[in-house]
Amino acid sequence: MPAEKPTLVEVTVVGKDRKGVVADITNFIFRNGGNIEKINQNVVRGLFGMQLEASFIAVDRSQLDQGMRQLADKLKMEIKVHYQEPNRLRNVAIFVSKEDHCLLRILDAWKKGELKANISVIIGSEASLKPLADAAGIPFNAIAHTDQSEAEVKILQLLEQYNIDLIVLARYMRILTPNFVWRYPNRIINIHPSLLPAFPGAYAYTQAFERGAKIVGCTAHFVTEDLDQGPIICQDSFKVSQSDTEETIKKKGRALEALTLLEAVKLYLENRLEVYWGKVFVLDETADDR
């Protein structure tokens, strides 16, 4: 008989920084038969965030969930537990703004069966792309960012409602705060219109054109609290000719963005991505379900 595969559990902790958080969480996991596989923590302006992955040969979910709720009350922090379930299609949320090229490419691949996932919800910073969601039969929610913290609370509620496993930023022109990002470690994929680390931030194509760049490209990466500095998943590029204008560079770049973002999403859904020490390793063959 083959050995039973362990259950992988991801725990995220977010709240006001205080002593003893790491010890309380890890001791609880040890007492319940868990083994710590990965742990990462950070503090930004008094906000504490921790991501922890533990493996269990056998796990009592109700007992683990109840214990984590008790710890959350004791520490006065938000603690979420996410179970990796290999036999379930992952639930994907796509975040958009006005530009439709990345969303169109993902929806096309999804309709053709190239993406093995449920696209559960599309969330927009405005309602421009709602007709595309309606045509695909996918719920669409427009959430204005007049107040960033209020908007993120609403988005987090939606993600919880749809049990989201992966967030795809398909040219979502908003910056997510550490308070948001820490809840989905290595589960938010963004596409940036440059070969990072060159030209971070907005107007990357304009910067490339003004600097006379001879090669322009795009980068799909995991999102961290540091803008455009998350672990790089994949990149692609094209050569700039002397006849290219800023507009032709943007047109070529947008087509490449859609393909590169789709490739990164496929790699994630195929379990082919591993992140160690801030670097992404792409497995050569589809990994076994975990």
**Enzyme catalytic residues:** 228
**Amino acid present at 53:** E
Cα–Cα distance measured from residue 164 to residue 150, given in angstroms and rounded to the nearest whole number: 19
Residue of 85, 82, 67, 65 lying closest to 5 (CA atoms) = 85
